[in-house]
A and B are shown apart, each in its own frame.
Chain A
Amino acid sequence: MTQRGNDLIRGSLDLMVLSVLADGPKYGYLIQQRLNDASGGAVRAPAGSLYPLLHRLESEKLLRSRVENSTGRQRKWYELTAAGRRRLSKQAQQWNELAACLETLLRPVLEAPPDPA
């Protein structure tokens, strides 16, 4: 159960990161800010999870990166690869379908909480 919950969050965090990158390259901090802003503060991707995740997506070839040294710091910009883009649109659609399905199933539950009797 816990495992499944974690997978759900992990899976959706992947998707969230991919979608944040859909409109152009960003570095880690920007991605974090955007996730935070987009969710009204509900999604917190701590650096400790975000960076390993970014590196994993990169090693899966869904992202590519380049390092910019001009600021005197090493700033690593991430962007979607073609495969990343494909993954994003595929998963976005899956989520859409899943959400629609859950919506149908959950509506009665939300509208009338089940009576224990």
Chain B
Amino acid sequence: MTEQDFDRFLASLQGMLKTNRRRRDAIVGELRDHLLERLDELVAQGVSRDEAMTRALEEFGDAAVLAAHFTAISRNRNRRILMRTTVGTVAALAAVLVGVVAFWPQDASVPLAPRKVTAQDEPKEVKPPAAEGVALLDEDALDDATVEKLKKPIDVDLIETPLSDALSFTVGAAEVQFYLDQRALDDIGLTADAPVSLSLRSISGEMALDLILKQLDLTYVLRSGIVMVTTPEEAEYQMTVRVYKLKDLRTEMEIAKQSDTQHAVEALATLAEESQPRGFGGGFGPARPVEDDTLRVPLLESMLQLLERRDALEATNPEAAKKVEKEFYQLARTVLPPPAARSPYQEVVELIMTSINPDSWDEVGGPGSIGVFRDKLVVTNSREVHRKIDDLLRQLRESGEAPAATATDE
């Protein structure tokens, strides 16, 4: 019995875990810690090292059973997120459609624009296509208007006032509609009569709202400009999907091209070495990666050739170099496993996940998800997070030397 047996056990577990790589590594790292800790303890008790290793492994049980347990959880998690985004709101679905339409490349002549044709439709009623992204922008515009209204200063004087009245006095006074999520309140044993107190002069409606809700461990989300008061847990379910265009960020990525190339080559090398079958994580991989190694290896070689050719062309003919690079990425999509680790926009994804509500992403057990689809970012999360992403992307655009010419209003 050697320490390699631990590794063998963990490797076989790793191979059987049907989830994305990062989660898989996290699980294996955690279990390794457990095994080593158990080993230390048994050895400290005077058990021989060999015996201790055998016992530690035996206590763990069968790798396949363990993997099945974890996989079931991961599947449930995915199902739950799917449910939230599908059953959750028809509006979310509409937003995706509109979002996709809005960000569809212009040359694709908007194939997804739904044409409403009903029996009563008269030819003369055919209107010019609505401005792209109308529904989506409306939602946001309504929310923005509400945010503006809530900035107005108000005086608040509440003493043991029932929650619903308190909201009327503050939010209602700012001419903003609100809705109490009665069911969520029930869940935590609260009613609309729960008393709140607050006495402050000229504070913003938003601040008043925050301070009132904080007293009851509640929070709010904006939906169509309406303040929905609910529990933090429930708020997390209020998720919407949006698509962000990243293309104009790309020019900035070019700066890091050198290291990109290195990353790609490293990735290619590791990939070529690995013979283990790989699972496909979530994400928005446009094509299923080629699994057969006899097929994959020559493809990898041609990818490397493309890279070399691009580097050779770079100085003399940048236009052609760009073309070759495009080919490389196209090929990469079929050969390499889904985008996460390899997308040129991965940095943006990481930036968003670490700087914007880090707890809200599914990598850390939160409800939100993020993925890159070609040059678009597909994000499922709360409206609050979407707003922050908007801000962040705008700042990135403004701070970079990226020519604004390619930037379209999202």
Contact = CB atoms under 8 A, between A and B. Distances in A.
Interface in B2-32: 26-27, 29-32
A75 interface: yes
Interface in B220-243: 232-233, 236
B34 interface: yes
Given A61-B236, A74-B33, A76-B33, A52 B59 contact: no
A97 B61 CA distance: 36
A71 to B, nearest CB: 8
Nearest to B58: A46
A106 interface: no
B38 interface: yes
Interface string A64-83: 11010001011110000011
Contact of B61 (A46, A58, A74, A82): A46
Nearest to B29: A74
Contacts of A95: none
B173 interface: no
Contacts of B364: 64-65
B70 interface: yes
A46 B366 CA distance: 26
A48 B66 contact: yes
Interface in B26-61: 26-27, 29-34, 36-38, 59-61
A8 to B, nearest CB: 19
B33 A52 contact: no
Given A47-B31, A47-B60, A56-B73, A86 B188 contact: yes
B149 interface: no
Contact of A48 (B26, B30, B38, B61): B61
A25 interface: no
B59 A28 contact: no
Interface string B87-129: 0000000000000000000000000000000000000000000
A51 B31 contact: yes
Given A47-B34, A48-B61, A64-B365, A82 B232 contact: yes
Given A28-B34, A67-B29, 19 more contacts: A28-B33, A46-B59, A46-B61, A47-B59, A47-B66, A48-B60, A51-B31, A52-B69, A52-B72, A55-B27, A58-B365, A64-B359, A64-B364, A67-B30, A73-B29, A74-B32, A76-B30, A76-B33, A86-B188
6 contacts: A28-B30, A48-B69, A52-B69, A55-B27, A63-B365, A75-B30
Interface of A: 27-29, 46-49, 51-52, 55-56, 58-59, 61, 63-65, 67, 71, 73-76, 82-83, 86
